[in-house]
Structure 1
Amino acid sequence: MGDKMSGENGSESTLDDEWVRDLESALSDGCEFSHVRDIAKNRPFPDEKARAKAWTVLLGVVNRADPFAEWDQLYDLPEQAKVRAECQEIVKRMGNPESERVPLTSDLESVLTLYCKTRKTNYVSGNGWSDILQLLLVLDLPRTQLFHVFNAFTTKYIPQGCTQDGKPFDLFRLLLLYHDPGLCSFLDTRKITPDMYAKQWFNCLLSTVADLNVTLRIWDVYLQRADPFLMFFMALVMLLNARDSILAMSAESSEKIAEAISGFPKQLEADDIEDFCQLAGIYSTRTPQSFRRDYHGPLFGSNLADEFENVTVHSLLCLPVSVQELLRSNQVIDSDDVHYFVVDGRPMSQYSNGHLPGAFNIDCSLLVNSPAEFHLAVQSLGAFKEKTHPDDHICFMGSGRDQEDQYIHMVIASFLQKRHQHVSLARGGYQALHDLLRESLSTRLKSHNTKGCIQCVRKEDPSSSSTKTSPTHASPQPSMMDRMKAAVKDKSALVKDRVFEYITNPTAEETPHVRGSDRHGRRYRNEPSVFSIGDDSDNSDGSDLDGVGEQVLQQRDKVKLSQYFEQADITAHFEGHQVESGKQYMQPCHLALTRTHLHVLHECPNEKGMAFVHLRRPLANVHKMTSKKRLPELLTVKYGYELTPGQYKVTGVDKFLVPKAGDCAKAIKAAIFALREPLTAAGGQD
């Protein structure tokens, strides 16, 4: 961007210089943050002198006390040698005269040492601090101001945890999934995580991957906007703008694709910065504000770092939206904020006794129980939304009880697989909405019936639902941090982690070889093959069966899954959910296959990595296995024995929702045939 504009007569005008003079005058008079921003209007500063003064104002560090005055001057960090070496390298790269190198190195080492001691943190190479310091040297600040600017900048604008698999990158993936699920799915399939290409974008705000002049201009705008999340949206813009070129690299290795993406900032030019940052701001307004409200403190605050360690961001299925934001969106129609088309995924019996006004109801359990009906409901939803709220973003609302909401997680996964943009989930569901509106339920909820509303019934008789609700949601959640932790820390995180794998379509699991006990059950007796995989038209759930042939463990053993799968007779294992008869929820489970048995393990609700051995099914008793055409992940396994040739007695039925259903079915089929061969041979010798 030039500092001059051409007039109609071809002569040069100095209109751009007017704001520069106003800025210099204001900075000389000791202006405040708002004054600088009003004058500059998100334009880059004209030179290093103005930039140095403006940055100290924008970071709020003008006239700060000397932090080195009370320092003991001890350079005794565990990583002190590493700190000194990196400071020497910075000065060497800057190309200062030999006479200036020693004092400059000393200043840099003092800044980093005091910073580590003040923040009570260790110095880690590659965390971006030295890169930020190197760029700040361009401003030629005194040591005291250099420390304050560095301290304020890293605290306010560098996300905590910018490491491999760090939480900022999990959040960025959710942001990409929200705006472009197709591109996100491509990167997930290639196992390209954001930390592989964006680590240097985030931990030093592009200072090492973009041209120096470009970076300085970006920081000018960054500090004026004072939005620590701007880097998330700048990264998003870079990926979306290069979407076609990324997808065109499908034949390349994951490492080469990640390397190419990491170099995108090098393509930025100084004249692009204003438009680039403006576009990032537009995407910011098109994103749920809960994104920044929920994670600002943990990501950028210095006092909540320990809290963020407990937040399981990786297992979030999609961006969460607070019920407060849904209500605001519902009330303020003309605002520029995101507006939501709420899809209430609870059963009709719950929806009809209270729901958010305007919410569209789809019973998400239909996805499993009646796929054809569910498909029609989704078509109706799409047609209604397109006609009445075409620009609104879809937000699913569940009950707020983990076990019931597993169906909603499946539906969200289905929407994301079909590349639906702008899909989110209301955090805490109807339960959180009910708690928030407890003083005005009759006026703020539609069709609220205190006698039929499950939340009202629970409050009148807490014991009636104690077995249906996890302890995490049993009491009101008084603060934002409590709500955030409750939404992602409890066992729902385990379920969402399973569905996350369902979306990303990972490669087939390894098949560790394991144990060989518990060889019970009937043997095959030269009977014809009754094993088949096809459309499951039989809706029998096995509730009226006598259960002969299953080995349900009366005293269930608690086992560690990783150790259990390493046993010598376990030939394969699969993760999924068991759809239990007569229940409105699915049980997270693992299927483990031995030479003779199918073991079903149920996850312990509050102990990650632990499970109960629920039952063992003899493979010799498997009569038939089918899957639905509309939902191939749902496997139905029937057990029984032959009464007369061609007639079978079905003694039990299991239904499992397995993301890798094809691999699971093949493994079971192979085990059954392997078991039959020696039995058939033995039968021929009798």
Structure 2
Amino acid sequence: ILALEGALQEQCSLHDLRLICRSKSIPDSMRGQVWYRLLGSSTGSPDGLERFNEIFDLANQSKLREDCKIFVEKLDNEEEDKVSILSDLESLVTHYCKTRHINYDPNNGWMHILTPLVSLKLPKNELYSYFNAILDSYIPRQCHFNGVAMHLFRLLLLYHEPELCSFLDSHKIAPNLYTQKWFLSLFAASSNLQAVLALWDYYFIRGDPFLIFFLSLVLVINAKDEIMAHKGEKERILETIAELPQQMEAGDIHDFCSLAVLYSAQTPFSYKRDYHQALFGEDESDERMDLLVLSQALCLPVSVQELLVSCHLLNPPTKSDAESRALRFFLVDCRPAEQYNAGHLPTAFHLDSNLMLTEPQAFSVAVQALLSSQKQSIAAQSAAGGEHLVFFGSGREAEDQYVHMVVAFFLQRHVQFVGLVQGGFSAVHQALVAAQIENGVVATSVSIEPVGLIDHNPSLCLVCTTDFFGRMRSKSAVVKDKLLDYIVNPISAGDNEPTPNTGGKSKGAGKLYRNIAPVFSIDDDQDGGIETMLNNYKADAPNQELVAISSWLKRPDVINSFRCHEVKESGHAFPSYLLITPSHLYALREIEDRPGFARISVNRSLSSIMKITSKKRHPEFITFKYGNIKGEETIIVDLDRFVVPQAGDAVKLVKLQLFNNSSAANANS
């Protein structure tokens, strides 16, 4: 507190003020002063409240006055104070509408934003400047259905949790149905005042307007199991999501926000540069184009600049970009073989998108090789290794429809962290050439060898030649028809890929992922098939849901937790927590460089446990085996291994829950 008082008195820099406040709660008595600095508020602005002409003549002035009265009636202030606050609020909102040439909308969240501000008991001119600064800097535009903000949120959800995104899409639950109120009020409309004050402290200290996207993302992802338990019940799903912010307390805010920042750090940052103007800028002229791009995006776009910076082929454009933790991409070049061989990025894995329609079996083998190569490169920490799959094609619309089919293939199988490079190889080629010109290496862009490409052959490279459109035009119509057919019928007879057997074989015979049977299952004897590879990839990937350990240990449904090590087939052991609830078994794998955070590496329904075994000489080494019962035969489809010092207690608790669940089921039958 003393350091903060001194910093405010000495008018320290905004950077120093943020460092002092970071990870600490702002005292109530100093919150107004700190927010004033963080928001960059000024009571002397050209459109400040002191310039209001006291004429109340908005088209819906009566509705505004009514809403102000309702707002004031909810306050605990003295009656005399309420009269003053009522006058100030109506003046504030009226003046804001007039200076912005807009009408008052009772659904725009303004009254909710004013609630935390009024609690600070500010003079009315300061109240207006705070209100003005928050609306200008932190409330995204286009929060309605089909707006830029809603399309971007859906793409972020698809990137981090494709299964949940697909589930909500299938129930026709668009993001605006549950996030609009959160976005327009920064959660002030849905959470208690103390939680909102603590949240806004963190929000303004960070100074990142996009944080609202990730706060919302964390809420719905952490409630994934609860949401998906209401399959087929759209209204119940919406009620469940709407209740999420109501559960937040001030003490939860630090973990909540830290987790949101962690998700943000694990997201390509291109969207911030591309859509900041449309969402938070003053110029709205490009909104229609941004909306068109996002509404048609198959997955989260990744800029060529970000891609090349991650490959160390371009320098970061700004100091902040250079200091930020760059993501590691696993690049997938989906152009035909002849184009790839005429020049490609050094770390790109080649996956010919044409194979998907022409040679499905060869495509299946190539996908298996891709996933295997990604795992090996991550384990070896090679330059080509990365958890984030980034696909790119030639950059030409007609040919890249094949690439879109490949991306759709991975998205339909709920693979996380899938991105698509904007402009494809053509944009990569041009960016490398432009960088050389900018650095003064050459004076003209004619016949320049793009430094950074491997095996580049200008005579065969389609970007260097002029006949590209003629070669591609003939394919366009055929590809378009096949693409539409694939999206509607992702597994067809022409794919030569095994179809789900819903007749004789149990759905549980395929490998379970989070206790959910794969959408596309395969026969047990086809070990190593593409669906099994993808399921193994998802189940074993170290990039599952990110959570704050303390929050999960305090969850009301957690009966007990045990420190342990999760042991993988490779022999690697990871420090973890084993959590047992009445219905599920979870393992939280600790993140080495993020103390206090973990990834959910195991998420199993207790009902899927068929057998629990341990070693005689090492009773703390236990194995949970999962599967299903077919007739009199128990089919084991997956397993998890742990070293648990309190193995006896853990196993006893699991067996007790299985017995209780079985007894409850029998009683209800």
TM norm structure 1: 0.64
Q: Does 1:419 align with 2:399?
A: no
**1:95-124 C-alpha deviation (Å, 9 max, x unpaired):** 433323333222111111221222232221
One-letter code of the match for 1:396? F
**1:48-100 C-alpha deviation (Å, 9 max, x unpaired):** x3111100100011453471343433322222222222112111122433323
Give the secondary structure class of the aligned counterpart of 1:284: helix
Contact 2:43 2:129 in 1 (8 A): no
**1:203-236 C-alpha deviation (Å, 9 max, x unpaired):** 1011021111011000000000001111111111
Q: How does 1:322-361 map to 2 (within 5 A)?
A: 322-331=303-312, 336-361=325-350
Contact 2:335 2:351 in 1 (8 A): yes
Equivalent residue for 1:100?
Answer: 81
Q: 1:404 is matched with which residue: 394, 399, 406?
A: 399
Q: Does 1:370 align with 2:359?
A: yes
Equivalent residue for 2:251?
Answer: 271
Q: 2:275 is matched with which residue: 289, 295, 298?
A: 295
Cα gap change, 1:469 to 1:139, in 2 (>3 Å) = farther
**1:522-544 C-alpha deviation (Å, 9 max, x unpaired):** xxxxxxxxxxxxxxxxxxxxxxx
Q: Could you tell me how far apart the structure 1 residues matched to 2:107 and 2:189 are?
A: 11
Equivalent residue for 1:646?
Answer: none
Give the CA deviation at 1:589: 5.9
Q: Could you tell me how far apart the structure 2 residues matched to 1:199 and 1:155 are?
A: 17
**1:135-165 C-alpha deviation (Å, 9 max, x unpaired):** 2101111111111111111111111012234
Q: Could you tell me how far apart the structure 1 residues matched to 2:274 and 2:246 are?
A: 32
Give the secondary structure class of the aligned counterpart of 2:106: coil
Q: 1:434 is matched with which residue: 429, 435, 443?
A: 429
One-letter code of the match for 1:37? R
**1:367-397 C-alpha deviation (Å, 9 max, x unpaired):** 1111111111111111111111364311001
Q: How does 1:72-471 map to 2 (within 5 A)?
A: 72-250=53-231, 253-304=233-284, 306-308=286-288, 311-312=291-292, 313-331=294-312, 336-389=325-378, 391-439=386-434, 440=436, 441-458=449-466, 464-465=467-468
Give the secondary structure class of the aligned counterpart of 2:395: coil
Give the secondary structure class of the aligned counterpart of 1:438: helix
Q: How does 1:481-630 map to 2 (within 5 A)?
A: 583=475, 586=478, 588=480, 627-630=493-496
Give the CA deviation at 1:466: 5.0
Cα gap change, 1:583 to 1:469, in 2 (>3 Å) = closer
Higher relative CO (CA 8 A, sep ≥ 6), structure 1 or 2?
A: 1
Q: Aligned residues: percent identity?
A: 42
Give the secondary structure class of the aligned counterpart of 1:91: helix
Cα gap change, 1:65 to 1:178, in 2 (>3 Å) = closer
Is 74-83 or 255-264 further displaced after alignment?
Answer: 74-83
Cα gap change, 1:153 to 1:348, in 2 (>3 Å) = same
Q: Could you tell me how far apart the structure 2 residues matched to 1:310 and 1:323 are?
A: 17
Q: How does 1:660-679 map to 2 (within 5 A)?
A: none
One-letter code of the match for 2:188? S
Equivalent residue for 2:642?
Answer: none
**1:347-385 C-alpha deviation (Å, 9 max, x unpaired):** 011111111221111111211111111111111111111
Contact 2:49 2:128 in 1 (8 A): no
Contact 1:344 1:360 in 2 (8 A): yes
Give the CA deviation at 1:262: 1.5
Contact 1:398 1:430 in 2 (8 A): yes
**1:231-290 C-alpha deviation (Å, 9 max, x unpaired):** 111111112211221222225x11110111111111222111111111111111100011
Give the CA deviation at 1:632: 10
Q: Could you tell me how far apart the structure 1 residues matched to 2:432 and 2:286 are?
A: 31
Contact 2:360 2:497 in 1 (8 A): yes
Contact 1:288 1:321 in 2 (8 A): yes
Q: Could you tell me how far apart the structure 2 residues matched to 1:124 and 1:403 are?
A: 44
Cα gap change, 1:91 to 1:334, in 2 (>3 Å) = closer
Q: Could you tell me how far apart the structure 1 residues matched to 2:386 and 2:30 are?
A: 43
Q: Could you tell me how far apart the structure 1 residues matched to 2:401 and 2:175 are?
A: 27
Q: Could you tell me how far apart the structure 2 residues matched to 1:93 and 1:81 are?
A: 19
Contact 1:401 1:468 in 2 (8 A): no
Contact 1:329 1:340 in 2 (8 A): yes
Q: Could you tell me how far apart the structure 2 residues matched to 1:151 and 1:44 are?
A: 24
**1:270-314 C-alpha deviation (Å, 9 max, x unpaired):** 111111111111111100011212111111112236535652222
Cα gap change, 1:378 to 1:466, in 2 (>3 Å) = closer
Q: Could you tell me how far apart the structure 1 residues matched to 2:30 and 2:422 are?
A: 45
One-letter code of the match for 2:197? L
Cα gap change, 1:454 to 1:162, in 2 (>3 Å) = same
Q: Could you tell me how far apart the structure 1 residues matched to 2:477 and 2:423 are?
A: 17
Q: Could you tell me how far apart the structure 1 residues matched to 2:211 and 2:26 are?
A: 19
One-letter code of the match for 1:87? C
Q: Could you tell me how far apart the structure 1 residues matched to 2:471 and 2:103 are?
A: 45
Cα gap change, 1:629 to 1:453, in 2 (>3 Å) = closer
One-letter code of the match for 1:408? V
Cα gap change, 1:280 to 1:432, in 2 (>3 Å) = same
Contact 1:402 1:469 in 2 (8 A): no
The answer for unaligned runs of 5 or more in structure 1 is: 1-19, 459-463, 471-581, 593-599, 601-625, 634-686
Q: Could you tell me how far apart the structure 2 residues matched to 1:86 and 1:254 are?
A: 31
Give the secondary structure class of the aligned counterpart of 2:51: coil
Equivalent residue for 1:572?
Answer: none
Give the CA deviation at 1:186: 1.1
Q: Could you tell me how far apart the structure 1 residues matched to 2:452 and 2:411 are?
A: 31
Q: Could you tell me how far apart the structure 2 residues matched to 1:317 and 1:282 are?
A: 24
Q: Could you tell me how far apart the structure 2 residues matched to 1:432 and 1:306 are?
A: 21
Give the CA deviation at 1:331: 1.3
Cα gap change, 1:157 to 1:630, in 2 (>3 Å) = farther
Equivalent residue for 1:55?
Answer: 35
One-letter code of the match for 2:177? M
Q: Could you tell me how far apart the structure 2 residues matched to 1:368 and 1:585 are?
A: 14
Is 179-188 or 26-35 further displaced after alignment?
Answer: 26-35
Q: Could you tell me how far apart the structure 2 residues matched to 1:107 and 1:325 are?
A: 47
Give the secondary structure class of the aligned counterpart of 1:454: coil
Give the CA deviation at 1:30: 3.2
**1:465-504 C-alpha deviation (Å, 9 max, x unpaired):** 455789xxxxxxxxxxxxxxxxxxxxxxxxxxxxxxxxxx
Larger Rg: 1
One-letter code of the match for 1:183? L
Contact 1:160 1:305 in 2 (8 A): no
Q: 2:44 is matched with which residue: 61, 64, 67?
A: 64
Cα gap change, 1:591 to 1:133, in 2 (>3 Å) = closer
Give the secondary structure class of the aligned counterpart of 1:425: strand
The answer for unaligned runs of 5 or more in structure 2 is: 314-321, 379-384, 437-448, 486-491, 500-669
Give the secondary structure class of the aligned counterpart of 2:415: coil
Aligned residues: 464
One-letter code of the match for 1:59? L
